[in-house]
Amino acid sequence: MRTIFLCVALSSLVFVAAGQTVEITVDASRPGPTISRHIFGQFAEHLGTGVYEGIWVGPESKIPNTRGIRSDVVNALKALKVPNVRWPGGCFADEYHWRNGIGPKRGITLNPTWGGVIEPNTFGTHEFMDFLDQIGSEAFLSVNVGSGTVQEAADWMEYITSEQQTDLAKQRAANGHPAPYKIPFLGIGNESWDCGGNMSPDFYLSQLKMYSRFVRNFNPAQKGDQGMMRIAVGPGGTEQRFVDWTETVMKGWKARQWSWDMEGLSLHNYTVINWEKKHSATDFGEKEYAEILKKTLEINALLDTHIGIMDKYDPEKKIALVVDEWGAWYSPTPGTNPGFLVQQNSQRDALLAALNLNIFARRADRIRTANIAQMVNVLQAMILTDKEKIVLTPTYHVFKMYIPFQDATFVPVTFNAGTYSNGSITLPRVDAIAAKGMDGKLWLSITNLDANKAVEIDLTLGVNARSVSGQTLTSPKVDSINTFDSPKTVEPKPISAQAQGGKLILNVPPRSVTVFAVE
């Protein structure tokens, strides 16, 4: 990022439209909780070309790869500092049998939920761990509760984590990895109220107790603080059935005996207005832009509902809320297999991502892990690939710009957001968060939701700023996208700012996300 020393630039001040000023005050004297880096987690399901093609091309491929994992995707993800990757699903996890995915001879099975295609199992446990190693990330494994058994999941964990020379540990060594792997996150089922077996909350709670008790992590390096987070299936909406679900699981946990425990509760939220007739990812105007951003902000109510229940049973906030599937879900790209959930990604999604990350950061005391759905080629992806081609999406750029917020300390900001309206929809014009980064700098993110107007930000920092450096991500239109032929339509650009009367004046363009450090 380029550093720009502060100076008064008259031309920039003239550019700012009158009446569009938002005052933001940063209160560094009241630091909040740590914004866990794990809220920037990703999700890679065996779904469409999310894994096969998107990550795994096989060692014989002409596409440059390391042990079958494509190098262009690895390089792009490495630059994102992805903290954890959830795998192998999603709904797929409840149909996954891990023994098909190890050793020299892989099982050929089906993927009935996602297009009914062949699942070659060439990307299995060792390939997943190799992928994590290549991108510098950590494992979030989802075990099969729906169609598997407690014993199958327990064996998988013994295979992966046992240092002691059991038969399963020896089998792992024979398959190329003598040392035990680490599994920091374990998802116990997925959407067990729906694709994961349509269970009642009580039935799931019984399953949870057994998986929690018997599916053990044996890696000696994962004791105490380094212990694995066991994540129970949680809600997927505000409806009564989801309220009952959270109540049942949290109440069950509160009344637990020594023999079982959990450290996280999952929550899923997709930004969709009509599941039967989803919005288009590309063919939209300002009305749909405003509609989707309004819809995504409804996650606030969803989080308040379920965090409220968690607070009742767990006021000490021992249990993390894990938003392990979130993002925009649009109608599939025309001409693609509808079961593959392929969709483009526009500047609207960049704003959607920033708004959600800000919402998670504000609840950092409870939300300690989150995973956008999904990583490559599926739903709100970071990366799209087509054979040897690759393109980075606007959402990718937001995740990259937010890296300084990983493990940063939340700093409160106060502002009057103003309003931006389109037809009957009214949204806050501006959103903002601040944090003290691991680098010691004060970082701010400012999102301007207004599709048409720039906003002048009048920033009171409480300290004298010497320099500011950062980037802004905007686009020619609300529906601008990056394509294989035109991959740089939406790209971050360096910002400029001015010091004025002890304050910082910043002009943020319409429909933009701006992240900068103040020193």
Binding site for ligand AHR (CB under 6 A): 45, 89-91, 190-191, 195, 325, 373-374, 379
Residue 43 Cβ vs ligand AHR, minimum distance, rounded to whole Å: 7
Is 325 an active-site residue? yes
C-beta of 191 vs 479, nearer to ligand AHR: 191
Residue 270 Cβ vs ligand AHR, minimum distance, rounded to whole Å: 7
Q: How far apart are CA 499 and CA 349, in angstroms?
A: 32
Q: Which of 119, 127, 191, 263 is catalytic?
A: 191
Name the 3-class secondary structure at 74: helix
Residue 217 Cβ vs ligand AHR, minimum distance, rounded to whole Å: 23
C-beta of 190 vs 358, nearer to ligand AHR: 190
Residue by residue, DSSP assigns 295-327 as HHHTHHHHHHHHHHHHHHH-TT--SEEEEEEEE
Residue 323 Cβ vs ligand AHR, minimum distance, rounded to whole Å: 12
* Cβ–Cβ under 8 Å, residues 52 and 123: yes
Both tokens of 315, joined, read 């006021």
Size of the chain, expressed as the number of residues it contains: 519
Q: How far apart are CA 126 and CA 129, in angstroms?
A: 5
Residue nearest to ligand AHR (CB): 90
Residue 267 Cβ vs ligand AHR, minimum distance, rounded to whole Å: 12
- In Å, how far are 63, 73, 309, 344, 384 from 388, measured between CA atoms? 6, 10, 48, 18, 11
Q: Which ranges of 386-465 does DSSP label H, i.e. alpha helix?
A: 394-401
Is 191 an active-site residue? yes
Both tokens of 237, joined, read 């909406």
Name the 3-class secondary structure at 49: coil
C-beta of 302 vs 444, nearer to ligand AHR: 302
C-beta of 268 vs 436, nearer to ligand AHR: 268
C-beta of 192 vs 212, nearer to ligand AHR: 192
- Mutual orientation of helices 167-174 and 150-161 as an angle, nearest 10°? 60
Residue 382 Cβ vs ligand AHR, minimum distance, rounded to whole Å: 14
* Cβ–Cβ under 8 Å, residues 415 and 24: yes
The closest alpha carbon to 415, from 365, 358, 472, 497, belongs to: 358
Q: How far apart are CA 91 and CA 43, in angstroms?
A: 12
C-beta of 36 vs 190, nearer to ligand AHR: 190
- Give Cα 47 to chain centroid, integer Å: 17
Tokens 């020594």 locate to 258
Q: Which of 95, 119, 127, 325 is catalytic?
A: 325
Phi then psi for residue 13, to 5 deg, are -65, -40
Catalytically active residues, by annotation: 191, 325
